[in-house]
Amino acid sequence: MALLIEREAAEGVALVTLDRPEKLNAIDLGMAEELAELWRELRYDVGVRAVVLTGSGTRAFCTGIDRGVSVPQPPSPYAVDDPLLRIGPKANDLWKPVVAAVEGMACGGAFYLLGEAEFIVASRDATFFDPHTTYGMVSAYEAIAMAQRMPFGEVARMALMGTAERIGAARAHAIGLVSEVTEPGGAVAAALRAAAVIAGYPTDAVQGTVRAVWAAQEAARTQAMAQAPALIALGNLGPERQAELFAGRRGGGGLGGGGGAPRVR
């Protein structure tokens, strides 16, 4: 199991933890399937009225897809299989509120999850970045998800600067990506407090409000995501060249191991 699930029956809150700390909580195919199954399961769990999503340890919330994963692709430039497209709660038709709690790095494919949370709580040491361009890949789904939460210029800068720059928690709060900043180690507790308040309200009113908020941006998001496969197919370097670029990175796990000394703002 790559996930830990704790259900607080009295509070009506489930705490879901990505549990691959040795890989900076990077997502392999097993975790991707577990996430999809869990969101579908929680649709039917009347005892869970709100969810907190976090990563194990303090180094990273999630660093995207595990680079050790092999994803077979159809033999066509018009089709791209992305195993992360089904890892989010909204992708699995879960409309119970999800609060993300971020400690450490959140980058790359982590935005598939953060993009489908209602809001984000982060510790002061959290950082957000998108390494795709550094490694010869198009940031498509990630940039689209963040464009729903961040000003255009901030999304463009993050997506284009790659591993050279990271958004710190204070800046993330200032631009609206993060709703609350805590002391290091405090993000989960703060997220659980918020989730417990929400879970204490009438369920139908809460879920209806979630749907209403998402309806305000869903049309633009759906249209943008429809263009992503073609942009990825056209813009990504070949696997061999990507592997060469990744070989020079520091650290392990997913896309978050870019080398150098990134600027945090």
Q: What ranges in the chain are assigned the alpha helix state H?
A: 29-42, 110-114, 141-147, 152-161, 169-174, 187-199, 203-235, 239-247
**Structural domain contains residue 205:** no
**pLDDT of the residue at 255:** 58
Percent of the chain residues topping a pLDDT of 90: 72
Confidence of residue 252 (pLDDT cuts 50, 70, 90): very low
In a domain? residue 178: yes
**Quick one: pLDDT at residue 47?**
96
State the pTM of this model. 0.89
Confidence of residue 189 (pLDDT cuts 50, 70, 90): very high
125 occurs within a structural domain? yes
For range 202-210, the mean pLDDT: 97
pLDDT at 257: 46
Residue 228 confidence (pLDDT): 82
CATH number of residue 45's parent domain: 3.90.226.10
Averaged confidence pLDDT in the chain: 90
- Quote the domain boundaries for residue 35: 3-199
Q: Is residue 229 part of a domain?
A: no
Asked, for residue 34, whether it belongs to a domain, the answer is yes
In a domain, 206, yes or no: no
Dihedral sign (CA 70, 16, 58, 90): positive
